[in-house]
Amino acid sequence: MKPPILIAILATVMTGTMIVMLSSHWLLIWIGFEMNMLAIIPILMKKFNPRAMEASTKYFLTQATASMLLMMGVTINLLYSGQWMISKISNPAASIMMTIALTMKLGLSPFHFWVPEVTQGISLSSGMILLTWQKIAPMSILYQISPSINTDLMTLMALTSVLTGGWGGLNQTQLRKIMAYSSIAHMGWMTAIIIYSPTMMFLNLNYINFYFYIKMSLYILMTLSTFMLFMLSASTTTLSLSHTWNKIPLIASTILTLMLSLGGLPPLSGFIPKWMIIQELTKNDMIVVPTLMAITALLNLYFYMRLTYSTALTMFPSANNMKMKWQFEHTKKMTLLPPLIITSTMLLPIMPMMSILD
Amino acid sequence: MALVLKFLNGTYIFRKCPKPNVASCPFLGTHFVDYCSSSLQKPVAAPGKTSSQRNSEGDLQGHHQREVALDITSPEEKPLVSFDKAIKDEIKDQFRRLKDDIVNHWIGPEGRPLHEVLLEQAKVVWQFRGKEDLDKWMVTSDKTIGGRSEVFLKMSRNNQSALLYGTLSSEAPKDGESGRSGYCAMISRIPRGPFERKRAYDWSQFNTLYLRVRGDGRPWMVNIREDTDIMQRKNQMYSYFMFTRGGPYWQEVKIPFSKFFYSNQGRIRDAQYQLLLDKISSIGFTLADKVDGPFFLEIDFIGVFTDPAHTEEFAYENSPELNPRLFK
């Protein structure tokens, strides 16, 4: 794609998300979602093979359905409350419909079936944008309507998402599918805590729920770093990733820390959101749900460990006779990769400072 | 639909009791016993004992008494189809497959541990050693459009290979719209999981297709189809040619996956795309070389392997004229 066109399309994607995040009028939010979806379709189809077209079609169909459902919920809310502003939704039907629409956009269980298929069909860079940037807009709306979300529905969705993400990613060898299932599981963790965010009744915009934001930002950082490392080594399967020790040994060791951070192991950054979410859930008298979530997160950790085992902890047999391949300078532009890796793995010591945000 | 097909495969036969003589028992009417109780016709029991038992029970139930020889089935006995039992068995079979699927999901990809899958460099995907291996394939010819080609698939000598044979006829069917005809094909059935869900093969760690065949000198086309999730993908196919040499020696055909070219709805497209190996649905062999007459192809096995010397990713170029979207 020519650079000016790519810049214009990416700008439209970003503008769409910004419109969603900054609006308080439901119609404008819906417009933002549509802009975002329509603009990301050419980005998903960067490669133009039949698989990418199939993935873009599936993405478009699910997102369009979700937008329609959202509009339906907005209209019902308009009918019952008489206004378009995003605030507490009085009608439970509208609230449930909006929740379902937004979780469909996010890829939460039971609407998660499109995530692995779409992520597998597109290139690594498009997958990176799909799994990180595209989650921001629906999450921000979920956060804004969080006082009106049906608690049981959300908790059930969160729990099933963590389960699905863990179970589904178990025997995958394709890296993009592994990242898709990891995204489903992490979204589950995020939505579990979103119901317990403090209400915005006093319109006190400084009073944010830092658990949710921390989880969101750390998840984006970790996923960005992982995708960038996969793009550097140009690997899309576990087997090709396991040959990186021969090409770029530094990536092999970085993937080790990054995968364990994604899995939520202390003392890496990925442990921070898990700890805080479990703490907050237990403060709200939920014992069974965080226990189940913590146990099923072990499934996630299992397949991350398998990846690290074959990549970093063992030297997989490769078809190369030399000890190490020639290491050339990287031609791929990996902007901000070192700071991303550091923030994804080493943020745990500054976690107590985050209570300043309270 | 799938259940109906399975039902036709698994009919259950019960031995019917001899028809009662209605004249002798007017009270029973249409109350026939459809299947025999075991005491009535036990072939291993002594004839005297059996007949006395039969007599006593026959009197109770009003059945017509007949002396039945031990091993010969009565000419009046007809196989009955039991719908309920077939459905129940089918459901049990599907749940068993679901349980196996869940257990295999835990063990690793394709039910084997991950390190085994990752370290594998050669794999036999289809082999022909018995009748059940033939069930994984289906044969088709232009008879479906009204042509006159015939094709059959059977096991070869000593059950060591499969023989695909028949007659090709390029006589066009007289339906007013077909101008050409004359093709035969053997296509693998799409692998199914529990409840007939479509599955796909993941050959992403391999890069070459290996076929051990013995043909008669005819050129065949090897077609690979990807997983058909969305309808338009049913028309897409990746093909390459396989030239058989005839002769008594087995031929080993190795086709790298990078050589397969893309065609849609039977036409080779200008814009060519690489065959992606992570969702292979079926493979097929087609013969359509416009030569009338008999043909045969003997296949020993079909496998995939990694050829470390083959580093080509895609054999066909695209140019701005052929595929302008790629060059924007």
Q: Which of A318-332, B22-36, B269-283, B304-318 has the lowest mean pLDDT?
A: B22-36
Which has the closest alpha carbon to A60: A105, A10, A109, A13? A105
B134 by Cβ neighbours in 10 Å (0-12 / 13-18 / 19+) ranks as middle
Q: Is the pLDDT of residue A340 over 80?
A: yes
Q: Which residue has the tokens 């039971």?
A: A110
CA distance between the termini of chain A: 45
Q: Is the pLDDT of residue A223 over 60?
A: yes
Which has the closest alpha carbon to A238: A173, A170, A169, A313? A173
What's the CA gap between A100 and B293, in Å, rounded?
A: 62
Q: What pLDDT was estimated at residue A333?
A: 78
List the domain range (segments joined by +) for residue A244.
3-356
- Asked if residue A140 lies in contact with residue A194, where contact means CB atoms within 8 angstroms, the answer is no
Q: Which residue has the tokens 């549509």?
A: A34
Q: Which residues of A touch B230 (CB under 8 A)?
A: 54, 57-58
What letter represents residue A278's amino acid? I
Q: A164, A171, A305, A309: which to substitute to probe chain B, counting the most B Cβ within 10 Å?
A: A171
**DSSP conformation letters of B165-219:** EEEE--PPPSSSS------EEEEEPPPB-GGG-B--B--TT--EEEEEEE--S-E
B328 CB within 8 Å of a chain A CB:
yes
Q: A2, A44, A45, A51: which to substitute to probe chain B, counting the most B Cβ within 10 Å?
A: A51
What's the CA gap between A205 and A189, in Å, rounded?
A: 24
If one compares B317 and B259, the residue with the highest pLDDT of the two is: B259
If one compares A198 and A269, the residue with the highest pLDDT of the two is: A269
Provide the 3-class DSSP secondary structure of residue A325.
coil
Q: What is the pLDDT of residues B238-256, one digit of tens each?
A: 999 999 998 899 999 999 9
Q: What pLDDT was estimated at residue B306?
A: 93
Instruction: Give the chain B residue nearest A50 (alpha carbons).
Output: B273
What's the average model confidence in pLDDT over B263-271? 88
Which has the closest alpha carbon to A319: A232, A264, A247? A247
Q: What is the pLDDT of residues A37-56, one digit of tens each?
A: 999 999 999 888 888 989 99
Q: How does residue B21 score in pLDDT terms, banded at 50, 70 and 90?
A: very low
- For chain B, how big is the Rg over CA atoms in Å? 28
Q: How does residue A348 score in pLDDT terms, banded at 50, 70 and 90?
A: confident
Q: What pLDDT was estimated at residue B77?
A: 63
The two tokens of residue A283 are 């403060």
Instruction: Give the chain B residue nearest A320 (alpha carbons).
Output: B308
Q: How many residues does chain B have?
A: 328
If one compares A196 and A221, the residue with the highest pLDDT of the two is: A221
A 10 A CB-CB count for A3 gives: 7
DSSP state of A356: G
Which has the closest alpha carbon to B186: B169, B171, B165? B165
- From chain A, which residues contact B within 8 Å (Cβ)? 1-2, 5, 48-51, 54, 57-58, 117, 120, 167, 170-174, 237-239, 242, 306, 310, 316-317, 319
A 10 A CB-CB count for A339 gives: 11
- Asked if residue A86 lies in contact with residue A145, where contact means CB atoms within 8 angstroms, the answer is yes
CA B148 to chain centre: 23
Q: Is the pLDDT of residue B61 over 60?
A: no
B324 CB within 8 Å of a chain A CB:
no
Domain B122-305 falls in which CATH fold? Jelly Rolls (2.60.120)
The beta-carbon neighbor of A49 closest among B109, B204, B273 is B273
> How many helical (H) and strand (E) elements, i.e. helices and strands, does chain B have?
5, 13
B109/A173 touch (CB, cutoff 8 Å), yes or no: yes
Most confident of A62-76, B113-127, B272-286: A62-76
- Predicted ipTM of the assembly: 0.85
Chain A contacts in chain B segment 90-149 (CB below 8 A): 104-110, 114-115, 117-119
The residue ranges of DSSP E strands in chain B, in sequence order, are 122-127, 137-141, 150-155, 162-168, 184-188, 208-214, 219-226, 236-243, 251-256, 261-264, 267-268, 280-287, 293-305
Q: What pLDDT was estimated at residue A279?
A: 87
Q: How does residue B76 score in pLDDT terms, banded at 50, 70 and 90?
A: low
Orientation angle between helical segments A151-168 and A175-194, nearest 10 degrees: 160
Q: Using alpha carbons, list the distances in angstroms from residue A111 to A63, A66, A100, A103.
A: 11, 10, 9, 7
Which has the closest alpha carbon to A189: A145, A159, A224, A147? A159
Q: Per the structure, how many domains does chain A have?
A: 1
Domain ranges of chain B: 122-305
Q: Which residue has the tokens 């065959």?
A: B275
Q: What pLDDT was estimated at residue B324?
A: 73
Q: What pLDDT was estimated at residue A61?
A: 95
Triad A194, A168, A150: Cα angle to 5°? 25
Distance from CA of B240 to the nearest CA of A (A): 18
Chain A contacts in chain B segment 167-226 (CB below 8 A): 202, 204-205, 226
Q: How does residue A308 score in pLDDT terms, banded at 50, 70 and 90?
A: very high
Beta-carbon contacts of A282 under 8 Å, excluding residues fewer than 6 positions away, are A290
Q: What pLDDT was estimated at residue A178?
A: 95
